Amino acid sequence: MRHVGTTAVFTIGELARRTGLPVKTIRFYSDEGLLPPTDRTDAGYRLYDAKAMARLELVRTLRELGLGLDDVEKALTREATVRDLAVQHVEALDEQIRRLRLRRAVLRAVVKRDSELEEVKLMNRLASMSDEERKRLLDDFWEEVSEGLDVDDAFYARLRSAKPELPDDPSPEQLEAWIEFAELVQDRSFRDLIRGMSVQNAEATAAGDTQAHEAQKELWCGWQAKAEAALEAGDTPASEAGRALADEIATASARPDQDAASPEFRRQLADRIGAGGDPRAERYWQLLATINGWPAIPSTVPAWEWFRAALQDSLVPN
């Protein structure tokens, strides 16, 4: 330590030892004008006083927070307040964190699926979609699966209104669910499945079955509870409980001009239940629930499979 008059001053080497910063870094800040020397020796070496040391600590703090050299200079010269710079930097960091989380979600999905290069590109594109692009993708899906069909408008309006809404700070699980959801609604076989269900809805509407169909939906919860109780008890679809439930479902589902005991009717009903119980249809809503932060949706597929099997078994006489 030296003195200029009564002021203690330090060389770059001494300043480095006191602050823990490399000499090269201090010299760089000085060359950039962020740390002007207090004085120089006769040989031209730079000297710094206590105020310069405090300034250096401030520069280090701002740099550690991620501010660029220009912003550090603005803060030091009072061209901008530290608060204003912090606000701008928080926004930039938030965007950077969002992008890093997107990348992490894609990479986690790649590891989980052992994906090939083309699939990696697709997943990255899906993860980077904007809110508007996500909603448009879903609108296109529902447009295709119902195009040209006279479906129940109110029912389909409810289906279409449930849109994926990723929060500003989504969890890895939400991002992964979105990637899977986007792939699902673009899958041709899934679109064909939902199109087939839309055709059935249109046929029911044309036959004037809409009100009966709405009334029947209220019974499904009770039937599902019975099927789940039978599964819990170990009853098979061919058991007495299975046949009783098959008769109840067939009777409630038949129109006045249909024979609920007819093998052909029960076979068609079993096929419809099989389509409705496709795991992908249920997965659609489970993924949407994860994306939107809704309560988890438990699986009803085992109950639907039990319904279907009970109807098929009821075709065989006791």
118 within domain boundaries? yes
pLDDT top residue among 240 and 77: 240
Average of pLDDT values for 298-309? Answer: 88
Is 93 inside any structural domain? yes
Q: Are residues 197 and 165 in the same domain?
A: yes
Q: Is the pLDDT of residue 318 over 60?
A: no
pLDDT score at 208: 67
Please check whether residues 93 and 74 belong to one and the same domain. no
Taking only Cα atoms into account, the Rg of the chain, rounded to an integer number of angstroms, comes to: 34
Please check whether residue 271 lies inside any domain of the structure.
yes
- The answer on 31 and 52 residing in a single domain is yes
Give yes or no: residues 65 and 171 share one domain. Answer: no
Q: Are residues 122 and 134 in the same domain?
A: no
Query: Do 223 and 110 belong together in one domain?
Result: no
CATH number at residue 15: 1.10.1660.10
> Does 136 lie in the same domain as 114?
no
- Is residue 2 pLDDT above 80, yes or no? no
pLDDT in tens, 262-288: 989 898 888 877 766 789 989 999 999
In a domain, 244, yes or no: yes
In a domain, 182, yes or no: yes
pTM of the entire predicted model: 0.61
The pLDDT tens digits for 152-201 are: 888 888 889 999 988 877 787 888 898 889 989 999 999 999 999 899 88
Task: Give me the mean pLDDT over the 210-234 stretch.
Answer: 77
Rounded average pLDDT over 45-72: 88
pLDDT value of position 212:
47
Confidence label for 214 from pLDDT (cuts 50, 70 and 90): low
Query: What does the pLDDT read at residue 317?
Result: 64
- pLDDT band with cut points at 50, 70 and 90 for residue 63: confident
Residues 100 and 142 in one domain: no
Residue 299 lies in a domain: yes
Q: Could you give the percent of the chain with pLDDT greater than 70?
A: 93
Residue 8 lies in a domain: yes
Whether the predicted pLDDT of 308 surpasses 80: yes
The number of folded domains in the chain is 3
Give the HSE-up count for residue 147: Cα atoms under 13 Å, Cβ half-sphere: 8
Last residue of a domain, one of 126, 160, 190: 126
In this structure, the answer to whether residues 21 and 97 fall within a common structural domain is: no
Q: Which long-range CB contacts under 8 A does 248-255 form with residues at least 24 apart? A: 248/223, 249/223, 249/307, 249/310, 249/311, 250/311, 250/314, 252/216, 252/219, 253/216, 255/207, 255/209, 255/212
For residues 116 and 175, membership in a common domain is answered with no
Instruction: Tell me, yes or no, whether 318 lies in a domain.
Output: no
- Domain identity same for 65 and 188: no
Of 94, 126, 158, which residue constitutes the final position of a domain?
A: 126
pLDDT at 92: 75
Range of the structural domain that residue 29 is part of: 2-79
Residue type, position 290, single letter:
T
Name the CA dihedral angle for 165, 167, 173, 178, rounded to a multiple of 10 degrees. 30
Lowest-pLDDT choice from 24-38, 112-126, 144-158, 222-236: 112-126
Q: What is the pLDDT of residues 116-133, one digit of tens each?
A: 777 777 677 777 788 888
Say whether both 6 and 146 belong to one domain: no
Q: Which of 23-27, 36-40, 80-84 has the lowest mean pLDDT?
A: 80-84
What is the predicted pLDDT for the residue at 15? Answer: 92
Residue with the larger pLDDT of the pair 88 and 34:
34
Tokens (6 digits) for 22 = 């490399």
Domain boundary among 60, 95, 126: 126
Average pLDDT over residues 292-312: 90
Question: Which helix or strand (DSSP H or E) is residue 9 part of?
Answer: strand 7-9
Residue 271 and residue 251: Cα distance in Å, rounded? 16
Q: Is the dihedral of CA 270, 275, 279, 284 positive or negative?
A: negative
